[in-house]
Structure 1
Amino acid sequence: MVNALISVSDKTGLEKFLKELKELGELNIIATSSTYAYIKEIGIDCNKVEDLTQFPEILGGRVKTLHPKVFAGILYRDKEEDGKVLKDIGVQPLDLVVVNLYPFEKKLAEGLPPEKMVEQIDIGGPSLIRAAAKNHKYLAIACQPEQYDSIIESMKANQGKITDELRKQLCFAAFTRTAEYDRQISNYFAKQQALVKTNGSKAGEPCAEGEALPPSVTLNLSQFQSLRYGENPHQAAVWYSDSMCGKKEESFPPFLQLQGKEMSSNNITDTYCLVRILRDAGNPAACIIKHNNPCGVAIGKTLDEAFEKAYSTDPVSAFGGIYGFTAKLTEDLARKIVEGFVEIVAAPDFEEGALKVLSTKKNIRVLKFKPNVLSPQAHDAWTAKYLQDFGWIIEKDTEPPVTGEQFQKVSGKGEDQLLGDAQFAWSVVKHLTSNAIFIAKDGKSLGFGIGQTSRIASVKIALEQAGEAARGAVLASDAFFPATDNIDACKEAGIKLIVQPGGSIKDKEVIEACEKAGITMLFTGQRCFKH
């Protein structure tokens, strides 16, 4: 006989599981009220937990399994004294505990108010799971429907018994699940606390040190996929998911791979960079990424136009690039893409003809973005940097990204016809490695100055790449100009408008230099370093 305790919120696969258990031998089930009702409805005998405890569920179901008789059946050991205790209190030792938790993560995504979120915190469930996992030497714990099949297979192969090895695996999965569940709850309250502190700041004032972030943060990563190697061939690598981005098929990874070789570490980081730029660039937009920076990005009236403009920025660097789009990829555009060597083609959708064309290049990785991947993201999300023995740095925006309507003109004429390019340039430069300069005109990238240790060096590189096309163009800088030599270079190249954060002690001199050069300058008031 198998003695089982069952209490589940997610009843997926439960009917099949229980019927297969019954086929293997006698089955004695005790269950909490809603699970009991479900099991009786599918025609399987079972008893209520109250029949065992002789104590009713109370406080609207908040207390139902937290009882010595329940936990004695779970924590029993094959010892004479334990057997005597169970006999005295009239409890049979359990062989199987099947428990999954209140759907806190799912409800969190629904944006419920705090008073309702509190009711989604499971108390008895984690206690049952942890107790059963602790006592895995004597019984098995199933905390996810995906585990049912492996339990049945083990019992079929071992005369109705669950192997020690599987019980150990289920134990590990159980403690991993409760740790992740507690992490979700802890981080929820951490964010609530941070929100209270942030909202307490006066408008326009910077947050005090650490004000917008909690005193402690718990991370819990789940292995999603082993990679062939890391950034370099001598490095091992694994792709992990974090519950903040989701682990279920519909949310992670944020794309479907339709064809091509397995994604590499560099492919993943480059695609992430691609998505960040496409989210902000506009629609329709095209972007080509090499080594975590764009070598071409553009917007256009059509996706074909955007691609032609992006590709023509630097066709040499586009070789072996990551190509991304904000709209459905057409067959005609696919034919243009496969003329060169491409690592990845990513878009929210593809025409059937486009997929057929891409399939002629079997090594190209074709990625279809899942819904809302390219939608604007919450500005208050946390970002984390792991610095090994220097610890972690966690950051959070305390104000939303600046928009074009907030740009402040500090020199020159209105140049209204260039405001669209100013917004486009600013949307791109904030994703480049600092010191960063980006030059654009008519929604097309002309020059990139990326990752230099002086701003004037980045300016010169971007201007050199843009060449004569820089005349009448817009130049964006991710941080202020510390000297007027940058303005002199822009004047000589024919730059018409500069957009930059401002904030330098030399701002007055820089503005005066722009006035003399006939260059319009806009301040964004927000720096966008990226390291």
Structure 2
Amino acid sequence: MKVETCLISVSDKEGIVDFAKGISSVGIMVIASGGTAKILKESRVSVLSVEEVTGFPSILDGRVKTLHPAIHGGILAKRKKEHLDELERLSIKKIDMVVCNLYPFEERIKEGITQDEAIEEIDIGGVTLIRAGAKNYKYVCVVVNKERYKEILDILKNNDNCIPEEFSYNLATEAFNYTAHYDSTIANWFLKEEFPEVLNLSYKKVLPLRYGENPHQRASFYAKDKLPFRKISGRELSYNNILDLDSAYGLVLGFNEPACVIIKHNSPCGVSISDCICSAYKLAYNADPISAFGGIIGVNKNLDLETAEEINKIFCEAIIAPSFDEDVISLFLSKNTRLVKLESEIDKELKVRNALGGILLQDDDIKDYENLRFVTKKKPSDDELKDLLFAYKVSKYVKSNAIVIAKNKTTVGICGGQTNRVDAVKIANERAGDKAKGAALASDGFFPFPDSIYECIKGGISSIIQPGGSIKDKEVIDAADNLGISMVFANIRHFRH
């Protein structure tokens, strides 16, 4: 298509003067709306205002500027004789290029503006221009991305002001994605219900990933706005790295005290809270040093050099922290260890998952417990209760059936992903070894039978926390009473699939 006339209507005016000068210099007529026309005229660009083209003023405080047949007829006309004759009869100029970006609704609502102010940030004319141009991409080139200006100028200058149809198609695809994201942002701002009848999800690709769950699978990371974290050093992140980093940081952020977690295959293998990050790391590592090899490490405080030197003794895939000492970054460069810093707070929003050709949507599992019930004759000591609540928080991040054994606010045995709970108890006990004696045990779901309680006593477990809710709760409680184990019902289940 040959470009003879270009309509420009932009909210973000960065780069637009140079672009307009560039297309004007190759003989393309420029039409511009409102503020865009003003800034171009001030910059001595030859330009026709929209009002000069339509013969109609901007009205309703600027709400209606470009919504006119003289504009949209010029954009939507096919380049066939009947349409061109109709344009000529109505004295409408054909428009071959539309350059437009929209009012910054998404950015403005983040500033906490009022509802009335937000309403005025909803672009109507711009969206209509973009959609019209994109629909007619065979004859009209539509530009919504200012990063494209130089590329388009080069194409015009090197091709006698012509744009290849394939390139125009790509720009139209970009334009429809742009308006779809814009509209979904507005629709979700209007929504007052968490689970609407129609769900609009709009995310931007912010990071291509090394590969998916396996090297033969492709993957990318998408976010609502910008990348919420920054990779400071190390090789590219993979799909599995992102999942593990999410679990690591989600878990350690649940603690106010210095905390460390080591994640392996999206499940914690060692977790501890202590008086400093270095101590927390050492305790988490010693909880299961075999599984810690090649894991993902998460801490909730600044990662200092002392802790980093301890971590550097083993191989780990990645470390996520709120900040890193400069010396720490230098230390890990030679190992190519991925250091990831969270740049912004992660919203506890709805969880989305693909299933059976659709998606599942649910609330995040935020609440740890509700109205603790001490159901056995023996009550846990204060220290035991602290360990129970610590272990129960950790159990939220372990695949069901999940068992977590902890002592002194450090895990000593974790087992998840088992198809029956009694085997999970056996394996967790085995991993804990002698450390299970006098330790606290958390189960993410209720015990369906007392058999698991008898396995607990074999390891020397002294206290148990579980959600309760089994039809055999009484038998389970009786077994705990007979064995001298204290038991607490959390009244909240933490299945993780």
Deviations 1:187-240 (A, max 9, x none): 444x41x25xxxxxxxxxxxxxxxxx122224455545554543223x331214
Cα RMSD (Å) of the superposition? 2.5
Partner of 2:180: 179
Looking at structure 2, the residues matched to 492 and 111 of structure 1 have their Cα atoms a distance apart, in angstroms, of 58
Q: Does 1:297 align with 2:271?
A: yes
Looking at structure 2, the residues matched to 130 and 51 of structure 1 have their Cα atoms a distance apart, in angstroms, of 23
Q: 360, 366, 373: which one pairs with 1:408?
A: 373
Looking at structure 1, the residues matched to 29 and 229 of structure 2 have their Cα atoms a distance apart, in angstroms, of 44
Partner of 1:215: 197
Q: 320, 329, 332: which one pairs with 2:303?
A: 329
Partner of 1:16: 18
Q: Secondary structure at the match of 1:327?
A: coil
> Where does structure 2 lack aligned partners over 5 or more consecutive residues?
none
Partner of 1:370: 343
Looking at structure 2, the residues matched to 37 and 288 of structure 1 have their Cα atoms a distance apart, in angstroms, of 58
TM-superposed CA distance for 1:307, in Å, is 0.5
In structure 2, do the counterparts of structure 1 residues 14 and 443 end up closer, same or farther at CA, with 3 Å as the change threshold? farther
Partner of 2:259: 285
Q: Which amino acid aligns with 1:368?
A: K
Partner of 1:236: 217
TM-superposed CA distance for 1:71, in Å, is 0.3
Alignment of 1:88-487 (within 5 A): 88-110=89-111, 115-189=116-190, 191-192=191-192, 194=193, 213-220=195-202, 222-233=204-215, 235-243=216-224, 246=225, 251-252=226-227, 254-361=228-335, 363-373=336-346, 377-378=347-348, 381-389=349-357, 391-396=358-363, 401-403=366-368, 406-411=371-376, 412-413=378-379, 415-487=381-453
Taking structure 1 as the reference length, the TM-score comes to 0.86
Q: Secondary structure at the match of 1:424?
A: helix
In structure 2, do the counterparts of structure 1 residues 416 and 142 end up closer, same or farther at CA, with 3 Å as the change threshold? same
Looking at structure 1, the residues matched to 415 and 495 of structure 2 have their Cα atoms a distance apart, in angstroms, of 13
Deviations 1:252-283 (A, max 9, x none): 1x322222222222222222222222222444
TM-superposed CA distance for 1:112, in Å, is 5.2
Deviations 1:332-376 (A, max 9, x none): 222222222221122222111111111121x32222222324xxx
Worse overlay, 219-228 or 65-74: 219-228
Looking at structure 1, the residues matched to 443 and 57 of structure 2 have their Cα atoms a distance apart, in angstroms, of 67
Looking at structure 2, the residues matched to 240 and 345 of structure 1 have their Cα atoms a distance apart, in angstroms, of 18
CA contact (8 A) 1:501 1:523 kept: yes
TM-superposed CA distance for 1:311, in Å, is 0.6
Worse overlay, 170-179 or 400-409: 400-409
In structure 2, do the counterparts of structure 1 residues 499 and 58 end up closer, same or farther at CA, with 3 Å as the change threshold? farther
In structure 2, do the counterparts of structure 1 residues 41 and 325 end up closer, same or farther at CA, with 3 Å as the change threshold? farther
TM-superposed CA distance for 1:433, in Å, is 0.4
Deviations 1:30-56 (A, max 9, x none): 333233333344443433322222223
TM-superposed CA distance for 1:115, in Å, is 5.0
Alignment of 1:32-111 (within 5 A): 32-110=33-111
TM-superposed CA distance for 1:129, in Å, is 0.7
In structure 2, do the counterparts of structure 1 residues 96 and 477 end up closer, same or farther at CA, with 3 Å as the change threshold? same
> Where does structure 1 lack aligned partners over 5 or more consecutive residues?
196-212
TM-superposed CA distance for 1:313, in Å, is 0.9
Q: Secondary structure at the match of 1:349?
A: coil
Looking at structure 1, the residues matched to 279 and 338 of structure 2 have their Cα atoms a distance apart, in angstroms, of 23
Deviations 1:275-333 (A, max 9, x none): 22222244421111111111111111111011001110111111111122222222222
In structure 2, do the counterparts of structure 1 residues 418 and 42 end up closer, same or farther at CA, with 3 Å as the change threshold? farther
Looking at structure 2, the residues matched to 433 and 33 of structure 1 have their Cα atoms a distance apart, in angstroms, of 58
CA contact (8 A) 2:185 2:202 kept: no
Q: Secondary structure at the match of 1:61?
A: coil
Residues matched between the structures, number = 494
TM-superposed CA distance for 1:447, in Å, is 0.7
Worse overlay, 267-276 or 347-356: 267-276
Deviations 1:92-114 (A, max 9, x none): 22232111122233244445565
Partner of 1:202: none
Taking structure 2 as the reference length, the TM-score comes to 0.91
Q: Secondary structure at the match of 2:491?
A: coil
Q: Which amino acid aligns with 1:392?
A: I
